[in-house]
Structure formats: structure tokens, C-alpha cells
Chains A and B, each alone.
Chain A
């Protein structure tokens, strides 16, 4: 005779089996069209390039060497690949500066939104959601029209007599930076707003009562409490920024390549799929390091707030 305990155990096992069945379609689709192919990239990064793209099934560490090194075609000596290093440096620099710029603009914006009355808050939230869901390419194109030589900024500057010839912004690193800060700003504002909205302003009041000035309140009370939102926003901006493709290729022109453009080049004209794969894995590693830092930070936060 089955005891009550056995019956309960059997029910639990059945429940877990149902749960696996239910999640199977999502897991299978994601494995087939997202996760699995990443493993193939890993394998491709240690193979030999084929003559017309693709690979020869022959082990070679060459792609990984080429990520930062250059082999001299005459005497086979290795030297630092200046072009690749420049692109790495530019990508990381632009991603970091974009994160900082969106934070500097996004933090006060989120604060402003969170301190409105409940009804108007919804309107501000709606206003930030619209650019967020507007196609990134369209927003990049909109920026393109503003900053190009015949664009609004240059037209106004010339009419005001500030400059006599248009300033070349387009096809520079600055253009990429402006574009990325513009398109990723909502990604920073939304998570900060989410944690700011929960902020208990009685703590702020207590701070003022204890003679803290505005700056001290901001630094010692508000900032620590919304830190999870700040970290989440930074990670949400940094990840797409380091792998950004659309914005650099539209605003940077052909010369100011970022990592994504270099990867694309290897799969297209470069016909060096292993190198493209090794570069892709390198981008993944950078993202992973950023995510790990995030997880460690977020973990600490939870402990502190119990």
C-alpha cells in the first residue's frame, strides 16, 4: 500500500516532468538557433580558413594568434597587429564612454521622472518608452541627419556665424559616440527609474534633518539605494555598445571600424572565418567579464539589503 509520503513524492515527480515538457519547446528553439551555433563558432576559431570562406577541417591556432598579432609574410616573425589593437581600443573606449555619458544624462533624468506626481510619472515613462521601442536603425538615421555637414547643427552654426565651414562630425569616433549615447540612453534611464521609484524619501528627509547637504544626501543616501539600477543600466548599455554594428556602420563610415565591423569584414571580403570566429569569442569574453562583475556586485547588494 502506498503511503501518503510516496503519493506526495510521485505527484512531485510528475509535476517536475510536466515542467520539463512545458519548457522543452523554448529550450530546443533557443539551443538550435542561438546557443548551439555559439559552440560552433568556438570550434571554427581553431580551424584553418578555407579558400573561399568557410573552413578546412584542420586544427590551427593561427586565428587566435591573429586576434592581436600579425605574422610577417617574409620571415614569419610576429608583431603586434596595430590595426586590430586600434579597433579593440576604440570599441572598448567608445563603449565605456557611452556608458558614462548615458549614466551622466540618465541618472538625473530618472531622478526627475521618479520625483513627479504619480499621474505625470506615467506620461514621462511613456515618453521614454517611445524612443526605446523605435527601431534603432531609424533613430541612428535620425542622428545622421542632425550631425551631417548639411544637417541642422551645422546649418545653425553657419547661420549664426559661429563657424564659416561645416564641422565634420559624421564619420568620426565622436559621431559614433553621439549616436550610441543617443540610441542607448533609454536603456540606462529605465532600470535606474525602476529602482528610483521604490526609493523611500523619508530616508532623504532624515538625512536633511541630520544636517546633510544636498550633495551628501545624493552621495550617501540616494546613490547607494539606487545602485542596483545604476549597475543594471550600465550593463544594459555596455553589452550592446561593445558589439554595436548598426550605429558604427552608419555613422562611422568605413574607416572608423569597431569590433563588429571587423568581424563582418572577416566573414565577407576577408574570407577568414576562423579569425572572425575568434574575434566573436573575444567579444563574448569581454561581455562575460562585464556580466560577472555585475553578478558579483548585484549579489553583494542583495546581501546588504537583506
Chain B
């Protein structure tokens, strides 16, 4: 495994890789193994410390967990892929670079390799931390992060993202509290509530803002993916054992506490997610795990001008063709970057991309599987699309941008008095989205408050904050 710049191959005028895969989750793992099987020399990069991405996130080996599978569905799929990857690593077919975040993807035709990747270390700060790599093809498998909709009190310690609670549990075997309310929208909530209760937390309420009826309106798409039903039933059974019953059409509309969460207020919503007056109820808890679906992580591609499409849940995903090609030559995408659809779809897309990059015709069975799972993903997205009424649970002093501490009133002022009509103008006027996270937490909410029709792709030169010292090391280009 590569660990320092001096060990890097394919960089600085070296031979270069046939394929660089960015992201070691289900899509990236499936792709790199399939590409190596077909004889391509590959490098696999990930910002995290291990393989698996968010879905297969698991305890560090030092925690010596004998049953990491208890926190996962289909754990054997991951172990099989990891074993095949290890074989390829052993013979030098694949290099793996973890704890490295690709912050810039540069077209670099001059070297004979279309791509130069610039990475920065995500480990403790030390001396030189940037690595540069060349590759003929790049596959973007950077996954997604959670969509957050703000509400009064959501910045209090003890409020965590649903995926974050899941990630900290899977990787560090810790819980944010003993009584954890789970709220928001999307199937992830069921998985989170099931793992939290299995790990010993009490979940006094599991609140889904949307209804589940939307699924029933498209029985065809549901029946085509029996695996998804089984997953839902498994979570359902685990939750029933702990007397947790999901309540649809409900949301947390306020969090209470001074320095940490003590309770939440829950309200029933109308069809548009508007809280219904008089339905409020207070629930004591010491943590809240909240999320409203997932947002594909696309910065590296949109910066290069890759075309996007709007998914039925209102998020943007990369536009890819039948072979997972983006509209940028030499740049491919698989998994959640093409629209959130779960691990099974990501695995299929990763493998499809690899076969196409290796110049082979796509296997028909794989194409069929992708079509079926993609159809289900689009249905799921339409069911959980946030209703426009959620903005009514904001109060003027609710912080919308966590990093820059911009309250809803300041955004309303930018829109109503200063005429801002999109997220970018709001950002310039209020600094919302200009902080450390670069709008990852507040972006969807700000766009909605600005009344923008559909999201506009983010274009930013770097995909994550980079130290000036690291930039200074880059050779002039």
C-alpha cells in the first residue's frame, strides 16, 4: 500500500496508471477489481482510512471486532471484493492510497496521460502531504453525503447526522447518547434506528417526514427489486423487537437545551411538510440523529463542466451514458455520483464502468440489473423529495449555515430586500456556504430559501480545503 509521495508510482513523469478510481466504496471497489481482472493497471484512492466507503464502514482492525457483519447487510460481498483487491495489490496490478483526498483533477494531455490527480493527506499534519498521480482514465465513485434541512436548535451538540451516528457506531463503536430520536426522510433512517437500538440505545421516536404510500403507487418498480423489500422487512423486524415504530408525516421542528440536547419538539406535517399547529409534542432525549436523504458528491466533475441531471428528490447527479461515461472525455462515474441508489446498484455500475473502460461490451445481465435498480432509486427519490413547507419550521434566528453562523432572517433579507434569486447571490451577500464545509451542509437549504428552481451545480476549484503550504508545493502548470 502506498503511504508516502516518494513511493508513488505513475507520478512525476512515471509510467502512469491505466485507471484511477476515486472512492473505495461499493462502486469504486467493484470497479477497481473488475478493471484489474481485465488487465488494467489501477490506483484506488480514498479520503478515509480504510476500504469500504460509508456503506461498508467498519471498525478499525485494532478494535478487534469479530462480528463486523452485524452492522451490515451483505458483508460477505465486501470481504470477497477486499480479498480480490488484496490479490491484485500483491502482484502490483493495483495500488491503494487511503487517507488521501483528491482535491483537483487536471486534464493533462501533455504528458500522454489525460489526467493528473492532486491529492492531500487527511492524516495528522506533517511535512509534505500532497501526492500527484497520472492516469489515462478516471472513475469518479465519490458517493454522497447527507442532505440537511435546518430547524431551530440543530446546531446544539448532540444533534448529529443520521449517517454520522451510523458512521461513528460502525467505525468507532460509540453512540451519541442513550436516548436517540431518529428523524428526517429516506430509507437510511430505518437502518440507523435499527443499528442504534441493536447497539443499546433507546430510540423513543423514529420520524419520517414523507409517507410510504408513494411506494405503493408504483408496485412494478418495487416488485422488480425483491432484495429491497427484504432489507426493509429486516430493519422493520429489528425495530419491532425494540418497540420502535416509524411514524410517517412527522418531523422534529425544534431542539431544546442550552449546551446540549435535552429534548425535541415533534409535529405532524401536512402533505407539503408544513407543521400542523396543535400537533406538537415534546420528547425527552439526549441526542438526535437527523438527515433528509443523500446528496451526490460531484465537485471534481462539475468543476470540469460535466453535465448533470436533476434527480426526482431535487438533488443533482452526473449524467452518464449506458457505459457510465460522463460528458467529459476520459471521465467515468459510478454509484451515488450518478444518483443515490444504494450499494447493489453501485456495485453493478462500478463493474459496468470497468468493462467499458477496458474496451469490452457491457454484459447484458449487468445492464438489466442496473435498469431495475435505477428505476427503484428514482421511485425512492420521488417519495422522499422534501415538501416545500419545511421552511415554515424555521424561526428568524435559526442558523442555516453552520460554519458562518448565518441565520434564516439574514437569508430572507438577502432574498426579499436585496433581490437575491439563487444560492450563489445569497452566498455573496450573507456568506452562507462560504465556510469550511463549502456549503455541503447548508447548500440545499439555501438554494430552497433563495427560491431557485432546481439546484445549480457547484463549481469550485478545489474539492476540499487545502493547506496553503500544500499548494505552494505544486509545480507551476
Q: Do A and B bind each other?
A: no
Chain A interface (Cβ < 8 Å from any Cβ of B): none
